[in-house]
Structure 1
Amino acid sequence: MSCDCGHASTSTESERRTLRIALLLNASMFIVGMAAGQWAQSSGLMADALDMLTDATAYGIGLMAVTRGIRFKQYSARWTSVTLMLLSAGIVADIVRRLIFGSEPLGAAMVGFSVLSLCVNVTVLRILSRYREVEVHMRASWICTRADVVANFGVLASGFVVLATGWRYADLVVGLAIAIYVAKESVEVWRQSSSSRERNAALSQR
């Protein structure tokens, strides 16, 4: 009887390497994005940067989960879901603050950063795509990155609107849309975790 230990070890190391790259890229973009969001007075950029931080957290949790058991991986996906929901609430709070106190978002800065962020996220999404049908912690990482790509397009569109018209509410509208989408992704990750738990429970009873 053959042993797949070597294959399993290679697969585990591949997952680790992929998550390390994703973690490094997202952590770096969070720092850049927060600075850009503060400078550009953009809720959309701030939301995008916080989304990067959440993804970096998800990749870190996923990295810890690679060599752990199924139960830990399921709980790591749930922690990812919770952090996504907290992010969504934080974005809404920032939008309300800017709506009350006002802001003057810089369209050019929004466009520039969103293009850079989109390039990073598409790269991460591509390297994670090979794992999106495997274990739940890797699927959660892929879902988070997919949400980032959608958010990037939203910030890019609002940046062009602000640049062309000066209408600051475009930034707030997109920020709110990102918050709603992130909340939806949070629910999806939680469902993925729950369905994985149910499948494993059913298999254990056979």
Structure 2
Amino acid sequence: MACTNCASDKVTATNDPHWRRVLWIALAVNAAMFVGEMIAGVAGGSRALQADALDFLGDAANYAISLGVASMALAWRARAALLKGGTILLFGLAVLVSTVWSALHGAVPHAEVMGVVGFAALIANVCVAALLYRYRTGDANMRSVWICSRNDAIGNLAVMLAALGVFGTGSAWPDLVVAAIMAGLGLWGGSQIIGQARAELRSERVLTPARAQHG
């Protein structure tokens, strides 16, 4: 019997050519920003910039995963979202550990570098977020992409505020506080994605026997 509900049989948000183009753009932007921001973060001694650069790397990998499963069934997209949610949680934990280490051993970062690079990253993320906005209420896989982009834009604003704080106080603490906030965003966003993905997997298991009976 021919499948009339397969993802490959019709154009949906998950295999929409526009969606795939947006993901390719987001992947390219995040990969480029990872390289640039990591170099600037190391040179400027900013833990917040380095944390944001790692976030760009994680997002680039997540976009690549999303491209790989975009036209697959809901169960596979939900499994990919579980992987991405777990990755984001690990990122948040890694940033927390890095922030604690820096609080004990780090030096004062260069505020000027933080401000300039943070602004460039903000522009990049706002553009990507604008492209992804229409897909913010999709399945867990699509929502995870939106959450990554949204968190990045918020993080960039925080980096710029940290730059002002470092400049005004001559202390590393504004940089460390922002890094901790970004870690919290990662933990929160990863938990959201995992929760929705698990719910979708449960619903798919319930629906699969019903489909078999009517097949």
Find the counterpart in structure 2 of residue 121 from structure 1: 125
Find the counterpart in structure 2 of residue 194 from structure 1: 198
User: Which deviates more from structure 2 when the two are superposed, residues 16-25 or residues 130-139?
Assistant: 130-139
Q: 2 CA distance for matches of 1:8 and 1:191? A: 23
* Aligned ranges 1:88-167 → 2 under 5 Å: 88-167=92-171
Find the counterpart in structure 1 of residue 213 from structure 2: none
Q: 2 CA distance for matches of 1:131 and 1:49? A: 24
Q: 2 CA distance for matches of 1:170 and 1:158? A: 5
Q: CA RMSD in A?
A: 2.1
Q: 1 CA distance for matches of 2:144 and 2:112? A: 32
Partner amino acid, structure 1, of 2:51? A
User: Which deviates more from structure 2 when the two are superposed, residues 195-204 or residues 96-105?
Assistant: 195-204
Find the counterpart in structure 2 of residue 40 from structure 1: 44
Q: 2 CA distance for matches of 1:159 and 1:42? A: 9
Cα distance, 1:126 vs structure 2: 0.8
Q: 2 CA distance for matches of 1:67 and 1:7? A: 9
Partner amino acid, structure 1, of 2:26? A
User: Which deviates more from structure 2 when the two are superposed, residues 98-107 or residues 34-43?
Assistant: 98-107
Cα distance, 1:176 vs structure 2: 0.8
User: Which deviates more from structure 2 when the two are superposed, residues 133-142 or residues 9-18?
Assistant: 9-18
Query: Which one has a bigger Cα radius of gyration?
Result: 2
Cα distance, 1:5 vs structure 2: 4.7
Could you give the per-residue CA deviations for residues 56-109 of structure 1, whole angstroms, max 9, x where no partner exists? 111011010112222210111011111111111211222122122221201111
State TM-score, norm by structure 2.
0.88
Partner amino acid, structure 1, of 2:187? A
State TM-score, norm by structure 1.
0.92
Cα distance, 1:136 vs structure 2: 2.3
SS at match of 1:105: coil
Find the counterpart in structure 2 of residue 67 from structure 1: 71
* Over 3 Å off, 4+ runs: 3-11, 201-206
The answer (yes or no) to whether the contact 2:99–2:176 under 8 Å persists in 1 is: yes
Find the counterpart in structure 2 of residue 172 from structure 1: 176
Q: 2 CA distance for matches of 1:77 and 1:134? A: 12
Q: 2 CA distance for matches of 1:172 and 1:133? A: 32
Could you give the per-residue CA deviations for residues 168-194 of structure 1, whole angstroms, max 9, x where no partner exists? 111011111111111111100101111
Give the number of equivalent residue pairs: 205
Find the counterpart in structure 2 of residue 13 from structure 1: 17
SS at match of 1:117: helix
Find the counterpart in structure 2 of residue 23 from structure 1: 27
